[in-house]
Chains A and B, each alone.
Chain A
């Protein structure tokens, strides 16, 4: 079933509450069958315990969450659920705390759980939220955002392999701005990498389709999707005047917010995958230990969540429902 999802352009809205737990590693696949967990009571009880401790959360984080929730595009009722999820996350994961952007992940998650008319307790949604966060832990795990730049370097590596003129053009434009191109390339992709193209997608449905196919398609597929996203803007990028620098790239990619559909991106990413597979260099980039730059005074892993957990790698944590950074 996982392979079928990987080959698809997403799954039915009504199926998401059942299939997402398996896709993010919260529940195991057994051959072609999904084992549906029957321990909802335990989920809810453990969540209730966390929810009872939210008064221990750093008040500055609570203020930030309370300021960000009205800035999250969702209904009033869901905002109450989102606040509860984020606070419980802070209780369980003090090393990560609340990172802006988690509110948008929660927004997608609640749509997946409730958009098809699904109900169920907040506990199950909370653990699912944690599973979704685990799939992008490279973004949250380090105070120097090293995981984001690692993914940017991986995208650059793919571009070097598949489209040398495009990669050279991007280097020329970024180089004109004098930034740390080698360590932090493709700065205009920071947002798309950080939120896995959530803001670039036309709507939440397209975002959910993209994410679920990525989860089903292997640990590096999302990097191929980002690379495909850049390749799809090839004509516009090559037309840019190099000396105008990185601002032009930010402007160009800023205009793409809310414009993308999952199917063409996935198709382009699959073509890249067929052409490249997962190269040794890509594997090396994505698993390399990140060395902090000297000017990042507080750069350190938040807990030990320095490697993107795969469903199989995280399932044991989820079965114990402990912190990812422990």
Chain B
């Protein structure tokens, strides 16, 4: 299926916070209670629609253990969006967010959209991080924030789609040079056929046929 844009995402966060389960819920609409450890990086994809445009999300799911940082870092560079995930039942995963954010900001492009996700809301009785704390962290660091449950699928669609919407808005505002794939955005055939691709280089809007 042709797409107007392809957005590359990366999912990051401590081991065991539910990154792979979020991806599986989003791509396959199912939950796997026991999921294999992610070794290095794994990959998923799904098509969504925003503003009547088909957008393909190419999602890189990364290993959470510190030992794998050297491989996961190399995936920051070409990402338009990042889902930074913590587990609301494990405070240490929230405490490590600053380190993840530093890493992401150091190795990604400055316009990468970051969605902070507090996962496992189905385990409300074991909650160790309040919604307000998550929201405050997001506000302080300029992130979008949602709480999700990969198990019940609550807010999972929203997490991925709201991130895409924010990236799409940035494209409309001319924040990205979409001809430069290092921003994690690729213009597809569908956008070229409608001739509606807006390309901005150094803040200057111009029209382009783009490339796939």
Residue numbers of A with Cβ under 8 A of B are 60, 63-64, 67-68, 70-71, 99-101, 103-104, 143-145, 177-180, 184, 187, 190-191, 194-195, 199, 243, 247, 250-251, 254, 295-296, 299
Q: Which residues of chain A are within 8 angstroms of B37 by Cβ–Cβ distance?
A: 68, 71, 100-101, 103-104
Q: Which of B15, B42, B65, B70 has the most CB of A within 10 A?
A: B70
A190 and B71 contact, CB distance less than 8 A? yes
Complex Cα–Cα for A251 and B46 (A): 13
B131 within 8 A of A: no
Q: Which residues of chain B are within 8 angstroms of A100 by Cβ–Cβ distance?
A: 15, 37, 39, 63, 65, 67-68
With A71-B34, A101-B37 known to touch, is A179 a contact of B74 (CB < 8 Å)? yes
Complex Cα–Cα for A67 and B90 (A): 12
Partner of A295, one of B36, B42, B107, B181: B107
With A103-B37, A178-B78, A190-B40 known to touch, is A64 a contact of B70 (CB < 8 Å)? no
A254 and B43 contact, CB distance less than 8 A? yes
How many chain B residues touch A (CB < 8 A): the figure is 28
Complex Cα–Cα for A247 and B44 (A): 8
Complex Cα–Cα for A68 and B15 (A): 9
| 9 closest residue pairs by CB, A with B | A190-B40, A250-B43, A67-B16, A144-B70, A191-B39, A100-B65, A99-B67, A145-B70, A100-B37
B182 within 8 A of A: yes
Q: Which residues of chain B are within 8 angstroms of A68 by Cβ–Cβ distance?
A: 15-16, 37
Q: Which residues of chain A are within 8 angstroms of B181 by Cβ–Cβ distance?
A: 178
Partner of A64, one of B36, B45, B65: B65
The residue on A at minimum CB distance from B33 is A70
B35 within 8 A of A: yes
Nearest CB of chain B from residue A66's CB, rounded to whole Å: 10
Q: Which residues of chain A are within 8 angstroms of B155 by Cβ–Cβ distance?
A: none
Complex Cα–Cα for A180 and B78 (A): 12
With A187-B40, A254-B43 given, name 5 new contacts (CB 8 A): A64-B15, A99-B67, A100-B15, A145-B67, A247-B45
Q: Which residues of chain A are within 8 angstroms of B67 by Cβ–Cβ distance?
A: 99-100, 143, 145
Q: Which residues of chain A are within 8 angstroms of B16 by Cβ–Cβ distance?
A: 64, 67-68
Partner of A70, one of B34, B39, B78: B34
Q: Which parts of B103-156 form the interface with A (CB within 8 Å)?
A: 107
